[in-house]
Amino acid sequence: MSFESELQDALRRKAAPDGFTDKVMNAIEGHQVRPRRVPRIAAAAAALVIVLGGWTIHRVEERREGERAKAQLMTALRLTSKKLQETQQHVQDISTR
Amino acid sequence: MKKLFVLAILACVTAPAYAQRLTLDIPGLAERASEVVDVTLDGPLLRMAAKFLSSSEPDERAARDIVQKLEGIYVKSYSFDKAGEYDAAIVDRLRAQLSSWKKIVTVRERMGDNTDVYVQMRGEEVVGLAIINAEPRELTVVNIVGPIDLDKLSRLEGQFGIPKMRGKHNE
């Protein structure tokens, strides 16, 4: 048998064996990368951390604002008290002259 | 005439329960001052401040009693390095806002210390207090809006680190 005839014989079109397509498709599906699923508990924990974090920041901010308002209030009352006291002192001084 | 009467009645009924808030903004004065105290506490902020007042500290307890029903506290105080840094017209404008208030104390001193104390009344109740203290190197304006117990306010003396006042006859 000449080389040419051997080559023609090797390259001759042959029908695929039965079930070949199914085997190939199964093999492809078996190798497909599926997306990882985040466990529900982890998602819930993350949501809880976000909510608690937000609430804590809100409380800290509220406390800071409250302390600032209190300091302002005490300053205002001290000043008012001082001015009233000075005025009352003037009036008393005049009345005892 | 009847309509006018009804309108007058309505005006009385709808009149604000509390004293008016004064306009204390004096443009440009803060820049000239060496020290500025600016306190603006209206309703919600005042309630919040009251919540943070301790009941174990005498001065804070006294403050809480006073601010319980107040609607606002507004204070502006400017201190200057030298005399004559503010125009006397500023004081006149402040006084002009108080034309409907009752002046209860006026102090005029030769050295230039002038103090006016005003109250606004609703019936028997004091619902507003204003103090204008004009000194050569200091200008202070206090405006308290809401029902004020003047007895409590006067009892504050001695509770804020200020020694209790004594007249000459007591010395």
B6-17 tens-digit pLDDT:
545 444 444 445
What's the rounded Cα separation, in Å, for the pair B106 and B117?
A: 7
Strand-by-strand arrangement of the B138-145 sheet: B35-42, B72-79, B138-145, B125-135, B114-122, B102-108
pLDDT at A78 over 90: no
Give the pLDDT of residue B170.
36
Q: What is the average pLDDT across A30-39?
A: 73
Give the pLDDT of residue A60.
93
Taking CB atoms and an 8 Å cutoff, what residues of chain B touch A96? Answer: 167-169
pLDDT at A85 over 80: yes
Q: What is the average pLDDT across A73-83?
A: 89
Is the CB of residue B98 less than 8 Å from the CB of residue B128? no
CA distances in angstroms from B66 to A40, A48, A74, B50, B107, listed in the order given: 54, 42, 11, 10, 25
pLDDT at A55 over 90: yes
Taking CB atoms and an 8 Å cutoff, what residues of chain B touch A78? Answer: 160-162
- In sequence order, which ranges of chain B are alpha helices (DSSP H)? 2-13, 29-32, 43-51, 58-67, 88-96, 150-155
- pLDDT category, A1, cuts 50, 70, 90? low
Please indicate whether, in this complex, the C-beta atoms of B157 and A79 are within 8 angstroms of each other.
no
Taking CB atoms and an 8 Å cutoff, what residues of chain B touch A63? Answer: 52
Please name the residues in contact with A7: beta carbons below 8 A apart, sequence gap of 6 or more.
Answer: none
Residue B24 touches partner A, C-beta closer than 8 Å: no
Is the CB of residue B131 less than 8 Å from the CB of residue B141? yes
Give the pLDDT of residue A48.
94
Of A63, A77, A89, the CB nearest to B156: A77
Residue A79 touches partner B, C-beta closer than 8 Å: yes
What's the rounded Cα separation, in Å, for the pair A97 and B14?
A: 47
Give the pLDDT of residue B169.
36
Taking CB atoms and an 8 Å cutoff, what residues of chain A touch B49? Answer: 66, 69-70, 72-73
What's the rounded Cα separation, in Å, for the pair B162 and B99?
A: 32
Q: What percent of chain A has pLDDT over 90?
A: 32
Quote ipTM for the complex: 0.78
CA distances in angstroms from A79 to A74, A76, B77, B79, listed in the order given: 8, 5, 9, 13
Rounded to two decimals, the pTM is: 0.71
What's the rounded Cα separation, in Å, for the pair A59 and A66?
A: 10
Residue A69 touches partner B, C-beta closer than 8 Å: yes
Please indicate whether, in this complex, the C-beta atoms of B52 and A70 are within 8 angstroms of each other.
yes
Taking CB atoms and an 8 Å cutoff, what residues of chain A touch B157? Answer: 81, 84-85
Is the CB of residue A88 less than 8 Å from the CB of residue B168? no
Please indicate whether, in this complex, the C-beta atoms of B75 and A82 are within 8 angstroms of each other.
no
Please indicate whether, in this complex, the C-beta atoms of A84 and B153 are within 8 angstroms of each other.
yes
State which residues of chain B have pLDDT below 70. 1-19, 151, 154-171
Of B51, B63, B133, the CB nearest to A83: B133
Taking CB atoms and an 8 Å cutoff, what residues of chain A touch B63? Answer: 73-74, 77
Q: How many CB pairs under 8 A join A and B?
A: 112
Residue B33 vs residue A8, higher pLDDT: B33
